[in-house]
Structure 1
Amino acid sequence: MGYLSTMMRLVAGTVLGGALLLAEPPPAQAHLATFGSWEITRGYLQEIFPDATDFLRRRDSYTDAEVAQIEAELGFELYPEDRNPEFYIAVDESSGKRRFLGVAIFIDPRVESRLLEGNVVRIEVGIGVDARGRVKRVRLFDYRGSRALTRPAFLDQLVGLSLGDSFEVGSDKAIKPVDDEPVESQLVANAAREALYLMKVSLGQGG
């Protein structure tokens, strides 16, 4: 079953289920809780899918076996909240018909604790995946490090990548790091790959 047909069935199930439709949901307990409100969260989602007129929420829950599978694939342990990821399905209804645009997720990768101008440096990565299962757009939110890490010159290198591609960052790799933040550059790339894999597990998508 293709990624698009799987997601279209998911959208239909979300709408018919009713409870998953986003109206004014409380902040998620994991990554999105740091954004403070649905208005802020929606604004961030709009940056990832600017053509979307609505976003539908789907929360998953991984079994211990799935967690073990994911950790083996990604090479690191999941945060407790990552066992219950929240996906945001972007749709466009401007034509009067619901058109599936893709899926977004927010990931907070492990960054080495450090202070910058009195604030703890964190990376909140928003990743959008299109109907083909490829990275559509990557955006960083609330990042206080090098601005170069947040700009298209770096982030757009991830656009179009799928799980079959390498996400390794380096001066001799396809993905070039930000000069003064090579570790953070790799963390952002890792977050994009994690998003793709979590969606694969949650949607039952092979390949």
Structure 2
Amino acid sequence: MKLKAAASWRLILFAWFTIPLFSVVWADETTLPSEKLASIFPNAKTFVEKRAALTPEKVAPIEEELGASLRPEDLKPTFYIAVNENNKPIGLALLVAVKGPNGVISGGVGLDMAGKVVKVEIHKHSEAASLANDTFLKQFNGKGIEHEFIVGENIEPIDGEQAASQAVALMPKKTLAISYALFLKRPEKTEEDASEMIEPEDLKEIMMMMKDEYDLIRAYFDKGTESKETDKVAAVQAAKRLRKHTEFIDYFEPPKNPNNTEEYAYLQQQFQKAIREFAQTLDAEGISEKTRKQWQGIIDLADKAHLRFSVEEIDLDEDL
């Protein structure tokens, strides 16, 4: 699998040199952020600047995956292809910025030919100086699109800088998401991966799966000002899983009013959109008046769907 992934990267990067799908610029050395790029790829002889653009159709799934909105500059990313002395591409770098607790955090991320992170650097920020600690940043090395980048789970945060650490974790995750959306093919799931996926047998099982995520989010709201950053991360991930669970609903006919398929589909679309927007806002703001209002809207939609199409109503007990 790794050999196939690496081969896919090489083919794509080779295509970038030969097919004008993107704007290609053999930039003058003075126009490149040379020091920043050389720090990410010290063995590169030169860099080729590649400019791309994200269409609205690509933006929505990226933001859903990230659980955060893209910045304006993310919509027209500039990639820097690292080229060795044999004129062969060895990876790419993207300069990215994310919103931290005290302002914008800017830096760079390098990906190798296998689509794995080789380096994350922080160039400018207003957080604690320890945020740029090498030990912390090296945790991202070797991770790919299949990783979650969740601080507190597979990433150890800087002591006392949980929120800022999670913001930094968004940098490689965003670089990967944009890269794959533009020109990379996601690795196919193996039979082992597929066996780990839970496929519900009926609508009631889906509802119970969703109820577990509801409970996690409700617990976060219940803690209020006593909640921690780890509670917020858990709630955001629960919202993302909740969104994925809704995709299974299409597999089954509603037990009540099965002839009203257009209304059934419309409610699903509204529900999925509401959850996606909620997850993005929750990640950005945590508990706020806006997220409480969004959450109540989700509960109202769920209650409406239960009354209209379910034989058994599931009590969400969600008075916020």
Identify whether the pair has TM-score above 0.5, normalized to the shorter chain: yes
Moved more, 122-131 or 139-148: 139-148
Name the counterpart of 2:62.
70
Asked whether the 8 Å contact 2:82–2:89 carries over to 1, the reply is yes
Other structure's SS at 2:25 match: coil
* 1:3 corresponds to 2:9: yes
Name the counterpart of 1:192.
172
Name the counterpart of 2:28.
23
Structure 1 outlier segments of 4+, above 6 Å: none
- Residues 90-113 of structure 1 show CA distances to partners (whole Å, capped at 9, x for unaligned) of 1112xxx2121101001110123x
Structure 1 residues 1-207: aligned runs within 5 Å:
2-13=8-19, 19-23=24-28, 38=32, 41-93=33-85, 97-112=86-101, 114=102, 121-170=103-152, 173-207=153-187
Alpha-carbon distance in structure 2 between the residues aligned to 1:168 and 1:203: 25
Amino acid paired to 1:56:
V
Which has a greater percent of strand? Answer: 1
- Residues 79-134 of structure 1 show CA distances to partners (whole Å, capped at 9, x for unaligned) of 222111111101112xxx2121101001110123x4xxxxxx53112100000000
Q: Offset at 1:13?
A: 4.3
Structure with greater Cα Rg:
2
Q: Offset at 1:147?
A: 2.8
Alpha-carbon distance in structure 2 between the residues aligned to 1:68 and 1:197: 11
Asked whether the 8 Å contact 2:24–2:51 carries over to 1, the reply is no
Amino acid paired to 1:23:
D
Other structure's SS at 1:179 match: coil
Other structure's SS at 2:100 match: coil
Other structure's SS at 2:125 match: coil
Q: Percent identity?
A: 29
Amino acid paired to 1:67:
V
Aligned length: 180
Give the aligned CA root-mean-square deviation in angstroms: 2.1
Unpaired stretches in structure 2, ≥5 consecutive residues: 1-6, 188-320
**CA gap 1:174/1:49 in 2 versus in 1, 3 angstroms:** same
**CA gap 1:77/1:6 in 2 versus in 1, 3 angstroms:** same
- Residues 109-165 of structure 1 show CA distances to partners (whole Å, capped at 9, x for unaligned) of 0123x4xxxxxx531121000000000111110234323221221000000000111
Unpaired stretches in structure 1, ≥5 consecutive residues: 27-37, 115-120
Amino acid paired to 1:166:
E
